Structure formats: structure tokens, C-alpha cells
């Protein structure tokens, strides 16, 4: 059977076996990853997979599976087993029929730029990143390069049959000037043209060099300048908890806040997978619905959650093209820019702390947004508009909604961020947050 025919075949067979609604996807993916540390490659890896995902409903009875692509007879058995499982699965809260197509998709989003996956080429990127960091003064570097090419073919019982290519390049570089002085930066792109591993390495190296000889910071409330890696981590949390499924299950500090002020009036957050050259570009969601530009927060007001057809029915709205068959999610987050450059924003801070990166964000309460996260890599005291000294050993312990409302500046300079700590590709600016709470370990 031709690959293009596999998803429609699954849909037809599942309908014949008694399903009321079916989504079938065939994912082919080729991915390479190079991990490096101590200025050398630690391992070069590849992943080559063909997976079939099937989601079916018999009205309110829902079942899903993901299996490796195999023979037609195996597929038939998978479908028959899944229909049987759906029949004995207790009914879900509601029945939301799959959106009815056919739909038209932006052709620019269906095709992906060609990227080379040749091992020598990929090693070359890593070399550029390491050299960039070392030239800026780093002693050692570590990181990951990921190169992906893939294709998804979808068919649904709602008259959808389409295919979409993917390609992406990403590198994450951490540079060290000592055990406790480091910098981190990234470059991500859908194509080779905008991919810049050397600059990622250089930026990481510059931060590492500036962060030499850190002293222990003091806890307290400070004006904080958060770099793009930090703000991407925070704002991608906002993007993720705008999922209506998470709102419905108590995992969102945005619950019951549609139409309310949740952030400073300068903040606009959009999920926009329709930007054709963006890393997170995508033509259709997991129900085959065309993706669209969704404004989550507009000038500080929460405008919309992200929906699939099931959550949309429950909330009495239209799907936003963000399925996830169980839980909707953002594809490609964009924070609208401010007017000032990084340098202008920095120059206006009399006393504060500049945080370049963070990790390990954990909530005490998802519903209220109480959380903490740990700054890592370069962190600096700001005095009279300039970086005065390197500091370490502080923790950001605050509340998401309080931080969003306390944003005082958003830079026009923005960076695309995605790395180990930030799952959703996010175009993030520098921001200034007033009165941010920093705590510190004792003993």
C-alpha cells in the first residue's frame, strides 16, 4: 500500500467496524542529534521511525493508539482491537464529532525547506558553535544539535486527507569559563539560511566570560531584567496552561479569567503556527483543522484558551486548531515586541538583577501560579544602567500572574527559543519585571 493511502484505509476500515469518528496519522521522521561536552562530541545519534496513530470514537466512547507502521494485516488487527476497546471503554463527558472538511491549507505550510542531514555537515555546525564560544573566551562547551526531517499524512472521517512536511535545525550551547561561570544560548530554524550555530556559541561564550568570579547574591525583591531564555520559559508556561484541557483539570492559573486582566497592558501573546518560515510552522492540527493565529493575551487581557473540538464543545466555542486529541497545546508562541532595545532597557535600570537563563520550574499550585525556578548561567547585578558584577545562588520564587502584571518593559529585540527546558518554540523578548522575589538557600 502507498504511504499516502494508509491513513484513509485506516479510517475506512474503522468506520466499517463501527467507529463514529476516526483520525489516522502516519508519521515518518528522520532525526539526527549530536551531543557534545568538554569541547568534543560525546555521541552522534539518529532516529528513524514510522509510526501510525489512530484515534477513534464510538460517540462518547474514545480510544487511541500509536503503533509502528507494519503490515496491512497487523494494521487491520490493530483497528479491530481498538474498536473493541472503544466499545468497552466507559463513556466520556461529551461527544464532539470531528470537524467536517474538506479544508484548504496554506501550501507554504504544507512544504518544508530542504535541509541537509549529512553527518559531515551536522558535525560542521557543532564545530562552528564550539569555536564561536571558545573565541569569545569560553574554556569548555557543551550542548546539543538536532536536525529533523519528517512528514505527517492525516486522514479523518471528517473528509480530511492531507500531508505536511517538517524540517528543523536547533542547537543549544552552554559555555563555561569556570565551574560556576557559564552562559547559554540557542539558535533554532526551519531552514539552513537562518540557522546560526556560531552566533549561539558566541553569545553563550560572551555571557560565560562576563559571569566570571561570581559572588553569592542576596535574596530580596528586585527589579529584574529577564533574558529571552528566561522569559521564553515563563511565557511558554502561560502558553501551555492556556490549553482548555489543563484549565478543565485544575492545572491552569488562567482558569476563570477570560476577559480579565492577567498581565501588564503592554503584553500580547499569540500562538501563530501560520508564520511559514517559523520553527513551529504547521498547516493543520491533529484533527485536520487548519491552524490559525490565536491571540491568547491581548494587551494584558486574556482573550482565548486553546481548543480542540472536544474542549471547544465543552466551553461553548469553536476549535482554535490546536488539537492534541486529548489536550490542546500551542504550536508556535510569539510575544509582540516593545519599542526599546536591550541596551536602552538596561540603561534605565538603577538597581536590579539581570538573569540570562533558568531551569527546573516547579509549581506549588498550578491553579494559583505559585512557583519557583532557578537562575543558571550568567546572572548579574545591574547598577546605574550597567552590569556591575556577576552573582549566583539565587532562586526566583514568585507567582506567574504577579510576574505578568509586574512587567514594565518589553524589548523590541526578540529571539526564537527552544531547548531542553523550553518545549514550545517561542519568540521571546527581554523583559523588565518589577519587584521580583529572589530567595536563597541557607546553611
Partner 1 sequence: MNQAKKGRKFVLEELTEFAVNYAESLGAEYAEARFQRDIQESIILKNGIPEAVIIEENRGISIRVLVNGSLGFASTNNLRKRDVKDSSIKAYKMARAATKILHKKVSMDESNLGAARVEVKPRIDFDSIDIDSKAELLKEAYRQAADTAANKKVKIPGCILTLDTWKTEKLVMTSDGADVHSITPRAAIFTLITMFHPQRGTVQRSFDLGGTGGWEIVEKWNLPELFKKEAQTLSEILLYAEESPSGKVDMVLGPELVGLICHESSGHPSEADRILGREAAQAGETYLKADSIGLRVGSSLVNVVDDPTLEGSFGFYRYDEEGVEARKRVLIKEGVINEFLHNRETASVFRIESNGSSRAVAFNREPIVRMANTYLEPGDYSKEELIEGIKEGIYIKSFMEWNIDDRRFNQRYVGLEAYKIEKGELKERVRNPVLEVTTTGLWSSVDAVGKDLEFQAAYCGKGDPMQGIPVWTGGPHVRLRNVTLGGQYYA
> Interacting stretch for partner 1, rule CB under 8 A, among 118-126, 271-279, 299-307, 335-343?
118-126
In this complex, which beta carbon is closest to partner 1, that of residue 274 or of residue 373? 373
b/e map 9-18, b = 16+ CB within 10 Å:
bbbebbbebe
Q: Which positions from 224 through 263 interact with partner 1, judged by CB under 8 A? A: 245, 248-251, 255
In this complex, which beta carbon is closest to partner 1, that of residue 41 or of residue 276? 41
Q: Does 301 engage in binding with partner 1 (CB under 8 A)?
A: no
Q: Does 38 engage in binding with partner 1 (CB under 8 A)?
A: yes
Half-sphere exposure of 250 (CA within 13 A, CB side): 2
CA–CA distance, 231 with 426 (Å, rounded to integer): 9
- Tell me which DSSP letter residue 288 carries: S
Q: Does 103 engage in binding with partner 1 (CB under 8 A)?
A: no
In this complex, which beta carbon is closest to partner 1, that of residue 50 or of residue 413? 50
Half-sphere exposure of 188 (CA within 13 A, CB side): 28
23: which strand partners?
Answer: 55, 156
Q: How far is the CB of 410 from partner 1 (least distance, A)?
A: 23
Grid cell, residue 152, equals 505527517
Q: Which of 151, 282, 395, 414 binds partner 1 (CB under 8 A)?
A: 395
Q: Which of 12, 76, 89, 408 binds partner 1 (CB under 8 A)?
A: 89
Q: Does 434 engage in binding with partner 1 (CB under 8 A)?
A: no
What is the dihedral angle through the alpha carbons of 59, 63, 64, 70, rounded to the nearest 10 degrees?
-100
Backbone conformation region of residue 159, classed left if phi is above 0, alpha if psi is from -120 to 50, else beta: left
> Interacting stretch for partner 1, rule CB under 8 A, among 28-36, 97-105, 330-338, 341-349?
28-36
Q: How far is the CB of 385 from partner 1 (least distance, A)?
A: 28
Per DSSP, the residues of 328-387 read ---SSEEEPP-SB-HHHHHHT-SEEEEE--EEEEEEEETTTTEEEEEE-S-EEEEETTEE
Size of the site for partner 1 (CB under 8 A): 93
In this complex, which beta carbon is closest to partner 1, that of residue 93 or of residue 277? 93
Q: Which positions from 161 through 180 interact with partner 1, judged by CB under 8 A? A: 172-174, 176, 179-180
Q: How far is the CB of 32 from partner 1 (least distance, A)?
A: 8
In this complex, which beta carbon is closest to partner 1, that of residue 41 or of residue 317? 41
Backbone conformation region of residue 441, classed left if phi is above 0, alpha if psi is from -120 to 50, else beta: beta
Q: Does 383 engage in binding with partner 1 (CB under 8 A)?
A: no
Amino acid at each position: 500500500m502507498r504511504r499516502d493511502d494508509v491513513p484513509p484505509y485506516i479510517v475506512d476500515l474503522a468506520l466499517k467496524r463501527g467507529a463514529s469518528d476516526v483520525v489516522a496519522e502516519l508519521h515518518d521522521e528522520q532525526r539526527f542529534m549530536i551531543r557534545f561536552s568538554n569541547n568534543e562530541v560525546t555521541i552522534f545519534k539518529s532516529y528513524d521511525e514510522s509510526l501510525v496513530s489512530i484515534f477513534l470514537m464510538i460517540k462518547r466512547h474514545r480510544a487511541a493508539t500509536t503503533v509502528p507502521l507494519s503490515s496491512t494485516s497487523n494494521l487491520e488487527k490493530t483497528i479491530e482491537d481498538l474498536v473493541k476497546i472503544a466499545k468497552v471503554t466507559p463513556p466520556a463527558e461529551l461527544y464532539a464529532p470531528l470537524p467536517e472538511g474538506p479544508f484548504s491549507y496554506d501550501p507554504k505550510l504544507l512544504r518544508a525547506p530542504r535541509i541537509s542531514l549529512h553527518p559531515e555537515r551536522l558535525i560542521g555546525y557543532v564545530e562552528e558553535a564550539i569555536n564561536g564560544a571558545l573565541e569569545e573566551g569560553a574554556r569548555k562547551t557543551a550542548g546539543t544539535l538536532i536536525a529533523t526531517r519528517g512528514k505527517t499524512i492525516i486522514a479523518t472521517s471528517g473528509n480530511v486527507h492531507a500531508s505536511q512536511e517538517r524540517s528543523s535545525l536547533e542547537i543549544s550551547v552552554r559555555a563555561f569559563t569556570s565551574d560556576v561561570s557559564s552562559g547559554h544560548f540557542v539558535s533554532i530554524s526551519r531552514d539552513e539560511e537562518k540557522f546560526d550555530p556560531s552566533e549561539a556559541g558566541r553569545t553563550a561564550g560572551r555571557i560565560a566570560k562576563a559571569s566570571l568570579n561570581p559572588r553569592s547574591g542576596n535574596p530580596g525583591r528586585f527589579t529584574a531584567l529577564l533574558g529571552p531564555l528566561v522569559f521564553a520559559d515563563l511565557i511558554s508556561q502561560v502558553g501551555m496552561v492556556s490549553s482548555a484541557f489543563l484549565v478543565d483539570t485544575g492545572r491552569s492559573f488562567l482558569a476563570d479569567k477570560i476577559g480579565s486582566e492577567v498581565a501588564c497592558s503592554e503584553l500580547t501573546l499569540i500562538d501563530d503556527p501560520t508564520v511559514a518560515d517559523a520553527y513551529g510552522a504547521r498547516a493543520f492540527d491533529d484533527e485536520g483543522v487548519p491552524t490559525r493565529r490565536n491571540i491568547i493575551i491581548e494587551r494584558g487581557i486574556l482573550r482565548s484558551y486553546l481548543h480542540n473540538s472536544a474542549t471547544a464543545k465543552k466551553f461553548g466555542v469553536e476549535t482554535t486548531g490546536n488539537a492534541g486529541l486529548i489536550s490542546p497545546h500551542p504550536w508556535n508562541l510569539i510575544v509582540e515586541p516593545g519599542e526599546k532595545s536591550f541596551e536602552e532597557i538596561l540603561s534605565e535600570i538603577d538597581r536590579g538583577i539581570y538573569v540570562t537563563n533558568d531551569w527546573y520550574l516547579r509549581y506549588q499550585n498550578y491553579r494559583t501560579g505559585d512557583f519557583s525556578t532557578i537562575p543558571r548561567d550568567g546572572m548579574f547585578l545591574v547598577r546605574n544602567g550597567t552590569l556591575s558584577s556577576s552573582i549566583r545562588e539565587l532562586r526566583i520564587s514568585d507567582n506567574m500572574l504577579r510576574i505578568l502584571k509586574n512587567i514594565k518593559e518589553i524589548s523590541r529585540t526578540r529571539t526564537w527559543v527552544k531547548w531542553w527546558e523550553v518545549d514550545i518554540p517561542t519568540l521571546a523578548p527581554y523583559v523588565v519585571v518589577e519587584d521580583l522575589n529572589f530567595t536563597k538557600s541557607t546553611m
